[in-house]
Chain A
């Protein structure tokens, strides 16, 4: 397992700044790693984004979610990935930090959610855009 984790890190760190959360959502977030958001937000940008699109916490960095939102729209990604952009993602499983998301995907471990997490609540109305 360690080998897979190392391999994953070597590939995904330089490409996506992967933080090895062990439960990859890159495909849902315009291939932009939300764990680079200083608040580690998994469901879109906070209300603090600056007028020029810079991050509230790190004024020298563009808000991760601005990049994600742009890429999810503009990049030629599979439409099912794009559709997932606006879905509610579950809280991070902190016990997976440092493990391989590839291995967790394979074993299904990344889909084990807390029993009280409400997954299938109907989304209201049509998509607001």
Chain B
């Protein structure tokens, strides 16, 4: 059983996940160097699958690289680039290398990336992929053919608490949880009232006990990053007041860090939230600083004394 799964199933332990940096040319040493800081803090690291519709080293290759450096990978699988055969092959192939956590996404459209001419696949959608991977976990391909033995995976998904139709988002999350998702990494949300409404709808429905809810915190260097997120990440808006506030600060980078810390504190204080999903675009030690400021011990320290979050759930 994966470490992430045992933490989630424990019910009261803090859960931290993170997003690995994308890799292009290079070697595994480059990769570990870039990932070592994150690995010190988070329980599991996402191997992304062509994020924002740009080609990079593949999800499976990165997941294996994460496992080889002694950290625990989460294989992201996106419906945009692969049909149902290829999605299943990713999961089964990675499992052969010991990858036991899978996060299923519908995915940004090809128009979000640098190859808008690409064919968009979407043979499955996000909730269907969750169900198919849950089937693999129980030992069956979608066709019904046996995988030989159950893959015994931890399946998760993503939901965007901030995109319309707002009142329907919790129901869509429920659909994914019903299909087998045991954790939800939420899309970055710069509107705290939307995040709160979403999490409290899930909590009222008793769903936060069935899946670990992990809001995303993104570490950016300043307004350029915020504007990039606003303009380029589909379904995410950064309110102009937020950008203005950072712009007006003496030290933009410090203000951007303070914003992330404030978001992290607010997210962890929401009843029903189990932990955080961290994305670091700064690469300047801000990730360690964030965890320290939140008074979260390192991963090893947390395991040593079965750390429970003072804030979560």
Contact = CB atoms under 8 A, between A and B. Distances in A.
A38 B205 contact: no
Given A116-B145, A125-B210, A45 B163 contact: yes
B201 A129 contact: yes
A40 B123 CA distance: 8
A56 B141 contact: no
Interface in B182-215: 187, 201-202, 204-207, 210
B56 interface: no
Contact of A43 (B120, B175, B204): B175
Contacts of B80: 39
A65 B165 contact: yes
Given A44-B172, A57-B111, A116-B143, A51 B205 contact: no
Interface in A1-54: 38-51, 53
Nearest to B204: A128
B170 interface: yes
Contact of B170 (A50, A89, A116, A129): A129
A125 B179 CA distance: 13
Nearest to A55: B109
Contacts of A89: 128
Contacts of B123: 91-92, 94
Contacts of B112: 48, 56
A42 B172 CA distance: 12
A39 B144 CA distance: 26
B156 interface: no
A48 to B, nearest CB: 3
A129 B167 contact: yes
A48 B108 contact: yes
Interface in A98-129: 114-118, 121-129
A92 B142 CA distance: 12
